[in-house]
Amino acid sequence: MTRIAVIGAGPGGLYFAALAKQSDPSREITVFEREAREAESGFGVVFSDETLDGIAQADPRVFAAIGAEFARWSDIDVRYAGQVRTSGGHGFAALDRNRLRAILQERCAELAVDVRYRTPAPPVDQLTDAYDLVVAADGIHSATRAAFADVFRPELDERHSRYIWLATDLPLEAFTFIVERFDFGTVQVHAYPYSAARSTFIVELAEADWRRAGFEALAAREFARGESDTASVGRCAELLAAHLGDHRLIPDASRWIRFTTVRNARWHHRNLVLLGDAAHSAHFSIGSGTKLALEDALALAAALGEQPTLEGALAAYEAERRPVVESTQRAAQASLEWFETVGRRTGQGADQFAFNLLTRSRRVTYGNLRERDPAFVDAVDTAVGGSPGVAPMFRPLKLGALELRNRIVAPPLATFTSPDALPSAFDRAQLTGLALGGAALVIAGMTAVSPEGRATDHCPGLWSDRQEAAWRELLAAVRSVSDTPIGLQLTHAGRRAATAPPGPDGVGLPLPRDDGWPTIAPSPLPWAPGYPAPRAATSDQLAAVTCDFAEAAERAARAGFDALELQFGHGHLLSSFLSPLTNRRTDRYGGPLAHRLRLPLEVLTAVRAVWPAGRPLLVRVSASDWAPGGTTEAEAVAACRAFGEAGADAVDVSTGEVVAHQRPPYGRGYQTPFAELVRAATGLPTVAVGAISGHDDANSVLLAGRADLVAVGRAHLYDPLWTLHAAAEQGYRGPAAPWPQPWAAGSRKPPGPGADRVAPRLHLLRATAPPVHRRWHPGAPAPSAPTPPAAPTPPEE
């Protein structure tokens, strides 16, 4: 490959051109850029230490040039409710975007890259005919991507919040988040220094707040290319005067825009490849644009040198970069949604709010914040009533009249080992193991209130005296070795009933006609193609379901369960009444939410009447159907509020499994924002559940105030002693995680290979640990190396 064309002379395009030419000087590389060489745009860019390490290895001359001009600091300031909270140990390096571009321009000139300014790229099909490789680095509004939309299949997710990109002549000392509440709503700022004289200053508002603040009227005209919305800039300066002092806001073609997340099904086609924002974007609140573009450039240049064919190189580039980008986009999406809904958290105290903000993307956690700045985490612990040094998961909680010694729940884990509908020997073994494992509450799972309510033909039930006696005997056996409270989940599976136990894919297929039984649902809609259609339940059948739940609850109380959970989620019968996707009725049980709530509330009211006062009664809900036209956030909140008013002590907030065509954004803690939503809107205690498997994530959820309890599901299947092992790993040996006496000798983590080795001293001078707090002071000596361990990906552009 000898001829390469690059569309766009932004940092990503220039850096790729320089690296590709450096690795093979015989290449003829042409960069097309419609703007002038001297044209300036944008403000600062921020780099993570990880990206800087890559630049240092790939092109030391570029690294030396940009490193000489960095602004460096390690603190993050959170200005909120008239107070400032500072977290240190993060490690940032920032640079004027125009200086970065100039440095890359100079490097391309040194390497004899042909960069053609004021020269729009020829049509892409002409370039692909004339060049061996065409690299489209033409930005978030890529014309190249649009021209081949049928191949790249872009997905453009435009969000609702409005933001305006500015600078200020106030050189801030740290990365600064400002969150100010006004009568019209909340204004938030993402700001950081990038030179001795300036800082980037991004102002963001939710759409409704933006309108109420008067910005819609100020921005209600067409702006010429390069023109700024100076009226809005002035309004921002007025609102944020307390933070700016005598300093000004500086626009650069600045106007209100919405952020668009770009995703593409493919990044390359024949000899054409996308790079940077043309291929992907991620919200500015965690930093991504320039960082990802430079990393793309490095990976593409490397792949061209490593692979023998162009197709192989482009495939290797995409295979290497896509997982990295998708991971960044997941974190960015969580951060974006946090800022879109910041109003949910503005009732928190300054310490907890700052912690919540810093852990919003799930990349920064309780554990690594404690590693970076233990004093900051101790202050948050103290502010929320905890004890410094004691992880949030080991704090007690009173639920109803039940005292829980910690905040970990072992949720319902179906075993599918009960062909006779009785709790099995495996159920007994599993519940005993979980009760010994340290969780504060263990809940036995998926117990049907009637024979036709079983999800599978191997699920237990609680509709007969024999079943009640079996459960009582099981509880007695568990309590002979553990005092851990045991709860029970009651359900009627509705249209999800009459299936075989799920296979490795988690899906239970319908039982053969002769082995199954008729199912009921609000409407005769099958779960999925190939499943039998349920019958639309009659009023008499619904009344019977209510009685079945109440009678099962009475049996559970007599059997001795300490808590009860009603399954109103996951597409089971009560869940299918709540969702507009599955409830098409026109009678008093269908239509508006108040009608769709009728049966769940009738069941809850009947159960509350017979369930002993003081014993916790929980409701599990699916707060989102993850499908168009499904349950909205407002409906989920209204439903949970109604459940609280009807007597629920807590809500176990799950999502999905309501319809087979759902599309959940699976990932660590992806359901937790719904627990936070319900908790903030209703005041009810919530349980966060779903893809929470590490104690660090559990601690983050709890200390941020996103939930009151954390349910750890699959990780308890992997390790029934999950809570005790989490205590050992964190060095906790208190009453919140007592080891069973016969196992006390195992309460410390066993030493591994090399644990007895003592390392010799090999340095004449001891290395000085970098300071936890470092502020940006122009003119101060720059540190010789990047700061602290495990730095997060910072906000970048």
pLDDT of residue 47: 86
Coil, strand or helix: which one is 175? strand
Coil, strand or helix: which one is 295? helix
Contact present, 583 and 596 (Cβ < 8 Å) = yes
372: left (phi over 0), alpha (psi -120 to 50) or beta: alpha
- Residue the block writes with tokens 């290895």: 57
Position 341, amino acid: T
Looking at residue 388, the DSSP 8-state letter turns out to be T
Query: What's the mean pLDDT when you consider all of the chain?
Result: 94
- Percent above pLDDT 90 for the chain: 89
Buried b (16+ CB within 10 A) or exposed e, 467-495: bbebbbebbeebbeebebbbbbbbbbbbb
Strand ordering across the sheet containing 268-269? 114-116, 28-32, 3-7, 133-136, 272-274, 268-269
Confidence of residue 246 (pLDDT cuts 50, 70, 90): very high
Question: What tens digit of pLDDT does each residue of 260-310 get?
Answer: 999 999 999 999 999 999 999 999 998 778 999 999 999 999 999 999 999
Q: Taking 60 as the threshold, does the pLDDT of residue 797 lie above it?
A: no
Contact present, 59 and 107 (Cβ < 8 Å) = yes
Distance of CA 100 to the CA centre of its chain: 31
State the burial class of residue 532 (Cβ atoms within 10 Å of its Cβ: 0-12, 13-18, 19+).
Answer: middle
Contact present, 412 and 399 (Cβ < 8 Å) = no
Contact present, 489 and 414 (Cβ < 8 Å) = no
Q: How many CB atoms are located within 10 Å of the residue 382 CB? A: 12
* Closest among 656, 711, 717 to 416, alpha carbons compared: 717
Least confident of 214-228, 234-248, 280-294, 421-435: 280-294
DSSP element (H, E) containing 143: helix 143-147
pLDDT of residue 660: 95
44 DSSP β-pair partners: 96
Tokens of 349: 């105290």
Gap between the Cα atoms of 206 and 259, Å rounded: 12
Handedness of CA 549, 672, 749, 382 (dihedral sign): negative
Confidence of residue 787 (pLDDT cuts 50, 70, 90): very low
Question: What tens digit of pLDDT does each residue of 419-450 get?
Answer: 999 999 999 999 999 999 999 999 998 999 99
Confidence of residue 505 (pLDDT cuts 50, 70, 90): confident
pLDDT of residue 795: 44
Tokens of 29: 């590389």
- Residue the block writes with tokens 């049928």: 150
DSSP H helices, 590-713, are 593-596, 598-610, 633-645, 672-682, 695-703
- Percent above pLDDT 70 for the chain: 98
DSSP element (H, E) containing 298: helix 289-306
Distance of CA 695 to the CA centre of its chain: 16
Tokens of 659: 């319809």
Query: What average pLDDT does range 751-758 have in this prediction?
Result: 84
pLDDT of residue 624: 98
Q: Taking 80 as the threshold, does the pLDDT of residue 796 lie above it?
A: no
Tokens of 71: 């602004």
Tokens of 652: 């176990």
Question: What tens digit of pLDDT does each residue of 154-182 get?
Answer: 999 999 999 999 999 999 999 999 999 99
- Residue the block writes with tokens 């540190």: 783
Question: What tens digit of pLDDT does each residue of 533-592 get?
Answer: 999 999 999 999 999 999 999 999 999 999 999 999 999 999 999 999 999 999 999 999
DSSP element (H, E) containing 324: helix 310-340
* Closest among 519, 666, 640, 644 to 631, alpha carbons compared: 640
Tokens of 44: 């600062």
Gap between the Cα atoms of 81 and 348, Å rounded: 10
Q: Taking 70 as the threshold, does the pLDDT of residue 657 lie above it?
A: yes
Query: What average pLDDT does range 763-780 have in this prediction?
Result: 86
- Residue the block writes with tokens 């884990």: 413
Confidence of residue 2 (pLDDT cuts 50, 70, 90): confident
Angle between helices 350-358 and 374-383 (to 10 degrees): 130
Q: Taking 50 as the threshold, does the pLDDT of residue 786 lie above it?
A: no
Q: How many CB atoms are located within 10 Å of the residue 346 CB? A: 15
Query: What average pLDDT does range 485-505 have in this prediction?
Result: 94
Gap between the Cα atoms of 750 and 378, Å rounded: 28
Q: Taking 60 as the threshold, does the pLDDT of residue 782 lie above it?
A: no
pLDDT of residue 40: 85
* Closest among 686, 725, 724 to 702, alpha carbons compared: 686
pLDDT of residue 37: 93
Query: What average pLDDT does range 595-600 have in this prediction?
Result: 98
Gap between the Cα atoms of 315 and 308, Å rounded: 12
Global pTM value: 0.94
